[in-house]
């Protein structure tokens, strides 16, 4: 009996020790190697302080982690995707954005309200707390503009489900090339571009309008069945065709200009 | 009453009323026998003095001096009587002279301030028009009377019984001139004017008085009414703009004065064509003082609107008609064009656009430079509007009524465009607002440009900081707390509190000094504890220039702590933009000398005509079409006045009560320059009831300057005598002996009695 008790205590102690060691190791790994070596991820860079300059804001969902990786869906293409995009935006326009410094903010972060254009990716894995849904509703109602990207065909249901938590009466409208968002900087007259190479079919550009009224401003643009940030990310590698990469940048620029004026 | 007692006592002592002494020339009626008598009296006096030699030995020096003094005084009185003092008077010959009696026939004469609820006109009824009217009887005994009534016009009256007291104005000078002309050539002893003196004429009375003075016509004024009411509330003044944009939230200063209700609280109501649009409590000031109340209301309906500012009358008020003032405001219902030029994609443009998009009276065009020579145009009204960027000609630029410059550097404009921007304010009369940003103010290279000259803030390139960033908690200044744009709640206190709740905004331009004459509405303490300007303005030339050196007023909407339904940002920007376009002239500007006239009164129409570059045009053809309330149309051509460039004028006389529409059209070389519409209200005025206390100083002045006298009902009984001895008209010379004045006998008896009593007291008898 006594032996059994001892064995149990020992097992508990060993378990605790293993857990503790694992925790310390993870923390150290994250601290020293940015988690990259340990989890195959990359360290999250600090957000720049608000200074009035345009800052690319990526929305974070799920548990807070200090690193990004392929296993963290909201972080796909970070930071290179947006850095490339901001570099191009800076070259093409008068926007003068932060280029190297981009932000990651949770949907219920008060700081988010200082950045009325936000980017969300991989909505198939999108989860939210009620607080996040409520806060983000206010963000959109006040004038925030959401860009949804990296959106595989089969992920619609989860996205719609989450979006209805934010805007219960939300309606989605398929856009054609006549919408002003495709003419705010570049003239984009054909939407059969930037195809998603891992799912069949053409990309679908969907919009959510203020008060569900297509004559009013778009409050969200959804790149359904496509992934334009992928083009941004790999634009310097030659992995993606130049023409399509150009289109991806053009769409991105138009989105930002539209989001800053409507 | 005091007057009457004084007059009676004076007359008893001095035999004649004071008037006789005032008008008469004093003289001595000396003759030879009298001279002899005087010599004898002098001898007596000497003898009398000699008798005191004995007394001198008996009494003290003081006794001698007193006794000699008394005796000398007795002798002096006797001598005075002996030399026959006389007053020589020029008295009117009875029934040989005319007197013009002018009676005020205006509405203010019905004000019941004569005690026991009697109106001012009671004096006229009792003293001039009743069968047993005493004053009329006395005057008629001595003079031939001619009656006149006066209000806005002056007419002869057969008798003073025919007054209606319906006149809506009192023109004293005009009345005096009319009477003077009517009675010219007749022996005129003077004019009597019975009035409360509430002259409502715009013209000075000086000229009329000078002409009466040169013709030696004295005016005897009888002031009826109280100089100051015991119980009255008056809406003394209301200053409203003549024209506003529909939906504008107006803040109007209403001056309220009162007597008898100090410290009480009353309600001030504002009505828009009969509909209550604002109500607020007013604490009445001390007696005789004025309080300024700020009434806030919205001009919600377009067209000519009659706004009334009313305080409900109290039961015991003496004048209730002065509790309401009205104002005709042209409420323009048209979209006013504003150009917002933003030099880079910025959220400021987005949120300004959202703030004003529902305002149907603001047409804000956004011209956003997205890249070099690339523009994104929003809400343009025509396909080609600002197609190639910021307007390059004055004609194109001056089509807008206001310009907002965002983060755009001076180098983006040619020197001519910069000059145009300055002229847009100073000559075209537009509103210009420069917002903060990395390309604005000094950071944008604006120092030393023509635009810097018109801005209300100092752009000091020498003190330029390489990088400036500060969070700012904007707070209204004293001026801003009451200013319609920056008062963001219904009253001052709530507004102050609301500002403390507003989220911080940021600035990248260090702007800390305003120019002399500029007004700061919002400021803040920056992170270096310097006072940073958040909103300032100044008038420059015909227009106004504003500076708002913050880069993200949109945080007032977007910040996490602002509720979704909070409309402060939108309200602020709508008001700010409306203020920018407020009062900005058109190419054709039509005005009149007054917005309300009496039926039959002439209206002077003045039009200012400007070409597309807002240069005055003198060779225009200007027509106005005047439509009466019944639909009758009269065309009134306007001619160049020659005095001022671009100014045309003409007159018409409306005769129907109601609202007249005046539509002006200007053209040159068969090309229309523009049109303008305004309205003129034709109705009986109520100015008679304002400041309606009897104006004794004016009436006294009329009398004194013409050689007459000022009377009130209490001493008007002596009026006939005063006219008689004014020395005008057909007169005879009368001698009035003074030696037998009772006062001399009393003096003599007193002196002799005093001497006797003194002697008795001192044992010298």
Chain A residues touching B369 at Cβ < 8 A: 94
pLDDT in tens, A105-125: 999 999 999 999 999 999 999
Least CB–CB distance from B371: residue in A51, A92, A262 = A92
Please state which of the ranges B132-136, B640-644, B673-677, B699-703 shows the lowest mean pLDDT. B132-136
What are the structure tokens assigned to B587, written together? 């190419």
The segment with the largest mean pLDDT, out of A236-240, B243-247, B573-577, is B573-577
CA A204, A209, A215, A217 torsion-angle sign:
negative
Instruction: Quickly list H helices, B631-736.
Output: 696-706, 719-724
Q: Is the pLDDT of residue B56 over 90?
A: no
Q: Quick one: average pLDDT of A229-247?
A: 92
Q: Find, among A39, A43, A100, the residue nearest to A66 by Cα.
A: A43
pLDDT in tens, B301-349: 999 999 999 999 998 898 999 999 999 999 999 999 999 999 999 999 9
Q: Tell me, what's the pLDDT at B59? A: 66
Please determine, looking at this structure, whether the domain spanning B588-682 carries the CATH number 3.40.50.2000: no
Least CB–CB distance from B558: residue in A54, A92, A143 = A143
- B204 pLDDT tier (thresholds 50, 70, 90): confident
With residue B221 as reference, give the H or E element that holds it.
strand B219-223
- B3 pLDDT tier (thresholds 50, 70, 90): low
Chain B residues touching A210 at Cβ < 8 A: none
Asked whether the beta carbons of B200 and B171 are under 8 A apart, the reply is yes
Q: Tell me, what's the pLDDT at B765? A: 63
Q: Name the fold adopted by B94-193+208-218+694-729.
A: Rossmann fold (3.40.50)
A141 vs A70, residue with greater confidence: A141
Instruction: Quickly list H helices, A109-227.
Output: 130-142, 156-166
pLDDT in tens, B93-125: 888 899 999 999 998 998 988 877 788 999 998
Q: Report, in this order, helix, strand and coil percent for chain A, each rounded to 5.
A: 45, 15, 40
What are the structure tokens assigned to B101, written together? 């009696």
CA distance A28 to chain B (A): 35
Q: What percent of chain B has pLDDT over 70?
A: 97
CA distance B460 to chain A (A): 23
Q: How many CA atoms lie within 13 A of A47 on its CB side?
A: 20
- Rounded to the nearest integer, the mean pLDDT of chain A is 87
Q: Which residues contact B120 (CB under 8 A, 6 or more apart)?
A: B108, B109, B110, B111, B112, B113, B114, B196, B224, B225, B694
Least CB–CB distance from B345: residue in A50, A142, A257 = A257
Asked whether the beta carbons of A41 and A71 are under 8 A apart, the reply is yes
A89 vs B491, residue with greater confidence: A89
CA separation for the pair A65, A63 (Å, rounded): 6
- Domain limits, CATH 2.60.40.1930, in chain B: 588-682
CA separation for the pair A47, A85 (Å, rounded): 17
Instruction: Quickly list H helices, B196-288.
Output: 206-214
- Angle of CA points A132, A135, A136, to nearest 5°: 80
pLDDT in tens, B603-633: 999 999 999 999 999 999 999 999 999 999 9
3-class secondary-structure state, position A150: strand
Q: Tell me, what's the pLDDT at A15? A: 45
- CB of B438 within 8 Å of any CB in chain A? yes
Q: Tell me, what's the pLDDT at B55? A: 56
With residue A17 as reference, give the H or E element that holds it.
helix A2-33
- Angle of CA points B169, B274, B246, to nearest 5°: 100
Q: Quick one: average pLDDT of B36-50?
A: 74
Which CATH number does B337-581 carry? 3.40.50.880
What are the structure tokens assigned to B464, written together? 């330029």
Distance of alpha carbon B762 from the chain centroid: 71
Please state which of the ranges A205-214, B395-404, B591-600 shows the lowest mean pLDDT. B591-600
Q: Which residues contact A54 (CB under 8 A, 6 or more apart)?
A: A95, A96, A97, A98, A117, A256, A260, B345
- CB of B527 within 8 Å of any CB in chain A? no
Asked whether the beta carbons of B543 and A128 are under 8 A apart, the reply is no
What are the structure tokens assigned to B665, written together? 């059209």
- CB of B557 within 8 Å of any CB in chain A? yes
B204 vs B376, residue with greater confidence: B376
The segment with the largest mean pLDDT, out of A81-85, B244-248, B253-257, is A81-85
Q: Tell me, what's the pLDDT at A28? A: 43
Asked whether the beta carbons of A82 and A119 are under 8 A apart, the reply is yes
Q: What percent of chain B has pLDDT over 90?
A: 63
Least CB–CB distance from B564: residue in A96, A110, A141 = A141
- CB of B389 within 8 Å of any CB in chain A? no
CA separation for the pair B127, B138 (Å, rounded): 10
Q: Tell me, what's the pLDDT at B11? A: 85
Interface size between A and B, measured as CB pairs under 8 A: 86
Pairing, β B505-507 against β B470-472: antiparallel
- CB of B558 within 8 Å of any CB in chain A? yes
Q: Tell me, what's the pLDDT at B53? A: 62
DSSP state string for B10-54: HHHHHSS-HHHHHHSEEEE---HHHHHHHHHHHHHHHHHHHHHHH
Asked whether the beta carbons of A181 and A221 are under 8 A apart, the reply is yes
Least CB–CB distance from B343: residue in A94, A111, A138 = A94
pLDDT in tens, B537-575: 999 999 999 999 999 999 999 999 999 999 999 999 999
Q: Tell me, what's the pLDDT at B662? A: 96
Pairing, β A204-209 against β A218-224: antiparallel
CA separation for the pair B331, A249 (Å, rounded): 49
Q: Tell me, what's the pLDDT at B86? A: 87
Q: For residue A51, what is the nearest residue in chain B, using CA coordinates? A: B469
Pairing, β B154-157 against β B85-92: unpaired
CA separation for the pair A130, B587 (Å, rounded): 58
Asked whether the beta carbons of B211 and B119 are under 8 A apart, the reply is no
Greatest CA separation for chain A = 81
CA separation for the pair B176, B193 (Å, rounded): 8
Residues of A with CB under 8 A from a CB of B: 50-52, 54, 92-96, 110-114, 116, 135, 138, 141-144, 184-185, 217, 256-257, 259-262
Asked whether the beta carbons of B259 and B230 are under 8 A apart, the reply is yes
Contact between chains at B378 and A261 (C-beta distance less than 8 A): yes
Contact between chains at A95 and B368 (C-beta distance less than 8 A): no
CA distance B344 to chain A (A): 5
ipTM of the complex: 0.87
Contact between chains at B506 and A142 (C-beta distance less than 8 A): no
pLDDT in tens, B63-78: 888 888 888 888 888 8
Q: Quick one: average pLDDT of B523-533?
A: 96
CA separation for the pair B327, B237 (Å, rounded): 10
Least CB–CB distance from B560: residue in A94, A95, A113 = A113
Q: Quick one: average pLDDT of A221-247?
A: 93
CA separation for the pair A79, A47 (Å, rounded): 12
Q: Tell me, what's the pLDDT at B36? A: 79
Q: Is the pLDDT of residue A22 over 60?
A: no
Q: For residue B570, what is the nearest residue in chain A, using CA coordinates? A: A142
The CATH architecture that domain B232-332 belongs to is: Sandwich (2.60)
Q: Tell me, what's the pLDDT at A4? A: 44
- CB of B573 within 8 Å of any CB in chain A? no
CA separation for the pair B407, B369 (Å, rounded): 10
A87 vs B46, residue with greater confidence: A87
Please state which of the ranges B16-20, B142-146, B448-452 shows the lowest mean pLDDT. B16-20
Q: Which residues contact B111 (CB under 8 A, 6 or more apart)?
A: B119, B120, B196, B225, B318, B319, B689, B692
Burial class (CB in 10 A: 0-12, 13-18, 19+), B31: exposed
Q: Find, among B727, B728, B750, B747, the residue nearest to B87 by Cα.
A: B727
Contact between chains at B564 and A116 (C-beta distance less than 8 A): no
CA distance B346 to chain A (A): 6
Contact between chains at B350 and A54 (C-beta distance less than 8 A): no
Please state which of the ranges A31-45, A148-162, B100-114 shows the lowest mean pLDDT. A31-45
Asked whether the beta carbons of B408 and B341 are under 8 A apart, the reply is yes
CA distance A139 to chain B (A): 8
Long-range Cβ contact pairs of A163-169 (< 8 A, separation 24 or more): A163/A208, A163/A220, A165/A128, A165/A130, A165/A133, A166/A128, A166/A133, A166/A136, A166/A137, A166/A140, A167/A137, A167/A140, A167/A208, A169/A212
CA distance A33 to chain B (A): 35
Q: Tell me, what's the pLDDT at B397? A: 98
Least CB–CB distance from A261: residue in B343, B366, B558 = B366
Pairing, β B543-548 against β B588-592: unpaired
pLDDT in tens, B475-506: 999 999 989 899 999 888 999 999 999 999 99
A232 vs A28, residue with greater confidence: A232
CA separation for the pair B458, B464 (Å, rounded): 12
Q: Tell me, what's the pLDDT at B201? A: 75
Chain B residues touching A93 at Cβ < 8 A: 344-345, 370-371, 374
Chain A residues touching B374 at Cβ < 8 A: 93, 185
* pTM of the full structure: 0.81
Q: Is the pLDDT of residue A147 over 50?
A: yes
Contact between chains at B557 and A142 (C-beta distance less than 8 A): yes
Q: Tell me, what's the pLDDT at B54? A: 61
What are the structure tokens assigned to B34, written together? 């009298």
**Test the B interface: residue of A48, A49, A51, A52 with most B CBs within 10 Å:** A52
- Rounded to the nearest integer, the mean pLDDT of chain B is 91
Q: Quick one: average pLDDT of A13-24?
A: 44
């Amino acid at each position: 009996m006594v032996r059994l008790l001892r064995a149990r205590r020992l097992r508990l102690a060993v378990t605790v020790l293993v857990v503790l060691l694992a925790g310390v190791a993870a923390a150290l790994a994250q601290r020293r190697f940015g988690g990259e070596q340990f989890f195959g991820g990359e360290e999250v860079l600090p957000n720049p302080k608000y200074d009035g300059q345009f800052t690319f804001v990526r929305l974070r969902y799920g548990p807070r982690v200090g690193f990004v990786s392929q296993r963290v869906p909201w972080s796909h293409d970070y930071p290179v995707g947006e850095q490339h995009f901001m570099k191009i935006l800076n070259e093409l326009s008068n926007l003068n954005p932060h280029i190297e410094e981009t932000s990651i903010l949770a949907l219920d972060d008060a700081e988010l309200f200082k950045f009325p254009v936000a980017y969300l990716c991989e909505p198939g894995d999108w989860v939210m707390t009620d607080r996040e849904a409520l806060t983000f509703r206010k963000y959109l109602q006040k004038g925030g503009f959401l860009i949804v990207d990296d959106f595989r065909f089969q992920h619609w249901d989860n996205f719609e489900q989450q979006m209805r938590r934010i805007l219960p009466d939300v309606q989605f409208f398929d856009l054609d090339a006549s919408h002003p968002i495709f003419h705010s900087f570049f003239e984009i007259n054909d939407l059969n571009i930037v195809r998603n190479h891992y799912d069949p079919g053409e990309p679908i550009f969907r919009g959510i309008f203020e008060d569900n009224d297509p004559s009013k401003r778009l409050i969200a643009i959804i790149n359904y069945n496509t992934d334009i940030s992928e083009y941004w990310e790999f634009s310097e590698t030659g992995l993606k065709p130049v023409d399509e990469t150009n289109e991806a940048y053009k769409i991105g620029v138009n989105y930002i200009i539209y989001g800053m004026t409507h | 009453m005091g007057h009457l007692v004084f007059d009676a006592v004076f007359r008893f002592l001095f035999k004649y009323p004071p008037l006789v002494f005032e008008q008469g020339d004093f003289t001595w009626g000396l003759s030879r026998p009298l001279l002899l008598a005087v010599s004898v009296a002098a001898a007596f006096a000497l003898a009398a003095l000699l008798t005191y030699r004995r007394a001198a030995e008996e009494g003290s020096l003081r006794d001698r001096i007193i006794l000699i003094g008394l005796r000398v005084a007795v002798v002096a009185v006797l001598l005075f009587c002996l030399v026959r003092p006389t007053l020589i008077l020029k008295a009117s010959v009875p029934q040989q002279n005319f007197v013009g009696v002018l009676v005020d026939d205006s509405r203010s004469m019905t004000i019941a301030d004569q005690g026991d609820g009697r109106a001012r006109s009671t004096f006229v009824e009792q003293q001039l028009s009743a069968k047993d009217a005493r004053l009329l009887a006395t005057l008629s005994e001595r003079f031939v009377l001619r009656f006149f009534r006066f209000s806005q016009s002056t007419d002869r009256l057969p008798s003073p019984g025919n007054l209606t007291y319906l006149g809506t104005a009192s023109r004293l000078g005009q009345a005096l001139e009319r009477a003077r002309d009517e009675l010219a050539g007749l022996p005129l002893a003077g004019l009597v004017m019975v009035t409360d003196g509430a002259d409502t004429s715009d013209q000075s009375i000086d000229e009329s008085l000078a002409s009466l003075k040169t013709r030696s016509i004295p005016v005897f004024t009888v002031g009826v009414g109280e100089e100051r009411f015991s119980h009255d509330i008056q809406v003394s003044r209301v200053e409203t703009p003549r024209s506003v944009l529909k939906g504008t939230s107006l803040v109007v200063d209403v001056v309220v004065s009162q007597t008898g209700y100090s410290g009480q609280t009353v309600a001030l109501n504002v009505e828009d064509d009969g509909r209550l649009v604002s109500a607020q409590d007013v604490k009445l000031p001390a007696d005789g003082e004025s309080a300024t109340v700020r009434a806030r209301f919205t001009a919600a309906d377009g067209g000519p609107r009659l706004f009334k500012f009313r305080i409900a009358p109290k039961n015991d008020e003496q004048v209730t008609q002065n509790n309401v003032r009205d104002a005709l405001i042209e409420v323009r219902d048209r979209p006013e064009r504003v150009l917002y030029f933003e030099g880079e994609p910025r959220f400021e443009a987005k949120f300004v656009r959202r703030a004003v998009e529902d305002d149907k009276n603001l047409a804000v065009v956004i011209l956003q430079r997205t890249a070099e020579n690339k523009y994104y145009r929003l809400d343009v009204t025509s396909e080609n509007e600002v197609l190639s960027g910021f307007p390059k000609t004055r004609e194109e630029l001056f089509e807008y009524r206001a310009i907002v410059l965002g983060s755009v550097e001076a180098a983006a404009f040619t020197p001519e465009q910069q000059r145009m921007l300055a002229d847009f304010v100073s000559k075209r009369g537009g509103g210009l607002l420069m917002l903060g940003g990395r390309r604005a103010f000094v950071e944008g290279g604006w120092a030393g440009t023509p635009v810097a000259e018109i801005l209300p803030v100092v752009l000091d390139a020498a003190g330029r900081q390489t990088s400036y960033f500060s969070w700012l908690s904007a707070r209204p200044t004293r001026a801003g707390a009451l200013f319609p744009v920056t008062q963001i709640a219904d009253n001052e206190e709530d507004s102050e509190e609301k500002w403390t709740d507003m989220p911080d905004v940021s600035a990248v331009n260090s702007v800390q000094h305003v120019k002399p004459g500029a007004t700061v509405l919002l400021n803040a303490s920056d992170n270096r504890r310097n006072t940073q300007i958040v909103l300032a303005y100044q008038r420059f030339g015909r227009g106004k220039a504003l500076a708002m050196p913050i880069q993200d007023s949109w945080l007032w909407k977007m910040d996490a702590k602002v509720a979704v339904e909070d409309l402060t940002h939108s309200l602020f920007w709508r008001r700010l933009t409306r203020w920018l376009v407020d009062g900005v002239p058109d190419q054709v500007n039509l005005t009149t000398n007054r917005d309300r006239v009496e039926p039959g009164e002439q209206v002077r129409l003045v039009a200012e005509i400007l070409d597309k570059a807002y240069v005055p045009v003198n060779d225009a053809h200007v027509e106005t079409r005047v439509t009466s309330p019944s639909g009758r149309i009269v065309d009134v051509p306007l001619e160049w006045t020659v005095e001022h460039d671009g100014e045309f004028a003409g007159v018409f006389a409306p005769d129907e009560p109601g609202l007249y529409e005046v539509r002006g059209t200007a053209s040159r070389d068969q090309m229309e320059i523009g049109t303008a519409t305004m309205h003129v209200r034709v109705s009986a005025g109520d100015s008679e009831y304002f400041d309606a206390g009897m104006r004794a100083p004016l009436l006294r002045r009329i009398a004194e300057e013409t050689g007459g006298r000022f009377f009130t009902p209490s001493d008007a009984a002596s009026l006939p005598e005063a006219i008689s001895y004014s020395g005008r008209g057909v007169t005879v010379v009368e001698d009035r002996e003074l030696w037998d004045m009772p006062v001399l006998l009393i003096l003599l008896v007193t002196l002799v009695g005093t001497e006797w009593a003194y002697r008795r007291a001192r044992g010298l008898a």
